[in-house]
Amino acid sequence: MRIISPVDNLKETHLLLQAGADELYGGYIPIEWEHYSLAASLNQRTFSSAQIASEEELSEIISLVHAHQGRFALTLNAPFYTDEQLPLLIEYVDRMVTLGVDSLILADPGLLRLLKKRHAPLEFHASTLAHLTNSGAVRFMAEQGMQRVVLPRHLSVADMAAIIQQVPDVLCDAFLLVGKCPNSEGLCTFHHSSPEKIWPCEIPYNIAPLSSGASPRLQQAMQRQASWSETNRRHGCGLCAIPLLKEAGVHGLKLVGRGAPAAQKVRNIALTKEFLALAESVTDFTEYKRLAVAAHQERFGAVCHQNICYYPEFFDGEVV
């Protein structure tokens, strides 16, 4: 499986490739987008540290990636763009193609239609924002021109295996490490714009029953919901599932963390690489899992928890 890492600047690019990333992805906001700014971001990130600073820097990043026989994917994954924005994006993508971008990560089917006609050689990825959670939806988007899909969070490995079996011509990537969300990103319409990067799913809400006389089931549901404000989403994991993801036919492991420090990205790549190797060499899954659980604790300084387990069907701890 390929290791896919975010990249935000040239300085960290060499480190990420040296650590073992096969593909990098990132976003860049061009000057012509200034009317919309980061508030209506063209790539789902509302903070500048998650953006490559200039076209020149992006060009150098792509050159470095290609020198390492890697690939670079540009994120253009807002759920929709308007008729006023699309001409800007067409010119923008024309320039990005000349810089050597290999693929685009998209969610808007309208943009896909335009770009597929204009830049057919590019590889088009369906972002998790496209929310393709079954083989029929993947097939539909493949008919529109998507060749690769980032499978959304909260799909089980069995779900992924079934989808891949049904649509074998479409490459599927799965999330790993950091940034586990309680909600399904393609269905989440909260605006992620807090300067402190505290997203609406992390707020310590006052949670109460709508009507009096909450049943034990409702109380348990409220407790589960409240547990997200006590969860560090940046501890997202999934290491235990790597052997099963490989067996399912997952093409790439997509690491989260645009805007995170380089050292964190490097650690995530190294950890993934280590466990890809262990998935080959350790044939006893119980032993593999023991190593993965220990590695999670060492990496994040916290024990496993159901909320931050990307594939909770393998979670053995206490369920809230």
Site residues (CB under 8 A) for other proteins, limited to 68-97? 79-86
CA distances from 52 to 35, 188, 252 (A): 18, 25, 23
Which amino acid is it at 18?
A: Q
Q: Which two tokens stand for residue 54?
A: 């200039």
Q: How far does Cα 67 stand from its chain's mean position?
A: 24
Q: Which is nearer to other proteins, 190 or 230 (CB)?
A: 190
Residue 115, token pair as written in the block:
């770009």
Here the tokens at position 277 are 């190797």
Q: Which is nearer to other proteins, 153 or 265 (CB)?
A: 153
Rounded to the nearest 10 degrees, the angle between the axes of helix 109-118 and helix 86-99 is 50
Smaller CB separation from other proteins, 79 or 249: 79
Nearer to other proteins, 152 or 257 (CB): 152
* CA neighbor of 70 nearest in space, from 225, 275, 238, 252: 252
7-46 residues near other proteins, rule: CB under 8 A: 35-37, 39-40
218 forms part of the interface with other proteins (CB under 8 A): yes
Q: Which is nearer to other proteins, 54 or 184 (CB)?
A: 184
Between helix 262-281 and helix 10-19 the angle, nearest 10°, is: 10
Per CB under 8 A, which region of 1-9, 47-55, 197-205, 266-274 contacts other proteins?
197-205
CB of 191 to other proteins, least distance (A): 4
Q: Which of residues 126-185 bind other proteins (CB under 8 A)?
A: 131-141, 144, 153-156, 158-159, 162-163, 166, 182-184
Q: Which is nearer to other proteins, 11 or 113 (CB)?
A: 113
**Cα angle at 257 between 23 and 180, to 5 degrees?**
115
Applying the rule CB under 8 A, the residues between 240 and 279 that interact with other proteins are none
**Residue 118 · residue 89 · CB < 8 Å:** no
Binding to other proteins (CB under 8 A) within 109-128 occurs at 109-111, 113-114
Could you say whether residue 188 binds other proteins (CB under 8 A)?
yes
Please give the radius of gyration of the chain, using alpha carbons only, rounded to the nearest integer. Answer: 20
Report the C-alpha gap between 235 and 302 in whole angstroms: 8
Question: For residues 205 and 290, which CB has a smaller minimum distance to other proteins in the complex?
Answer: 205
CB of 32 to other proteins, least distance (A): 12
Pick from 224, 233, 246, 289: which binds other proteins (CB under 8 A)?
224
- The rounded Cα 136 to chain-centroid distance in angstroms is 21
DSSP 104-155: EEE--HHHHHHHHHH-TTSEEEE-GGG---SHHHHHHHHHHT--EEEPPTT-
61: contact with other proteins by CB under 8 A: no
232 binds other proteins (CB under 8 A): no
Binding mask 198-217 for other proteins (x = CB under 8 A): --xx-xxxxxxxxx--xx-x
Q: Which is nearer to other proteins, 100 or 109 (CB)?
A: 109
Minimal distance in Å, beta carbon 43 to other proteins?
14
Q: Supply the minimum distance, in Å, between the C-beta of residue 196 and other proteins.
A: 11
| Shortest reach from residue 232's CB to other proteins, in Å | 16
Closest distance of CB 275 from other proteins, Å: 22
- Tell me which residue has tokens 């993508």: 93
Q: How far apart are CA 13 and CA 7, in angstroms?
A: 7
State the number of CA atoms in the 13 A half-sphere of 169 facing the CB.
8
Report the residue number, 136 or 168, with the smaller CB distance to other proteins. 136
Torsion angle, CA of 149/89/11/38, rounded to 10 degrees? -100
